[in-house]
Amino acid sequence: MSTDPASKVAGVGLDDWKLPIFKKHLDAAGYRYEEPVQFTEGTLILRVHYEWVHELQPIIEAAQRECAARKSELNHD
């Protein structure tokens, strides 16, 4: 965990199948995160380190949009 007082941690809840997509977006944007913990069966909590929430939010939204598109593709097959 970061010792930088400006660093904060966001808990992001997601379905387990979404994890690779979220990691891809967070890695591309240079964010640091901890290995997820199971919340309930099929869902995870991913702890993401950030400084400014307004910078993290678009990354999370982009990952969620990709997940929604992937789910839509799977439902149409």
Q: What is the pLDDT of residues 12-69, one digit of tens each?
A: 999 999 999 999 999 999 999 999 999 999 999 999 999 999 999 999 999 999 999 9
* Domain residue limits, the chain: 8-76
The answer to whether 8 and 50 have CB atoms below 8 angstroms apart is: yes
44: helix, strand or coil: strand
pTM metric for this prediction: 0.86
pLDDT at 76: 74
pLDDT at 39: 96
Band of pLDDT at residue 2, cut at 50, 70 and 90: very low
pLDDT at 34: 96
pLDDT at 1: 41
Assigned CATH topology for domain 8-76: Alpha-Beta Plaits (3.30.70)
In 4-18, which positions are buried (b, 16+ CB within 10 angstroms) versus exposed (e)?
Answer: eeeeeeeebebeeeb
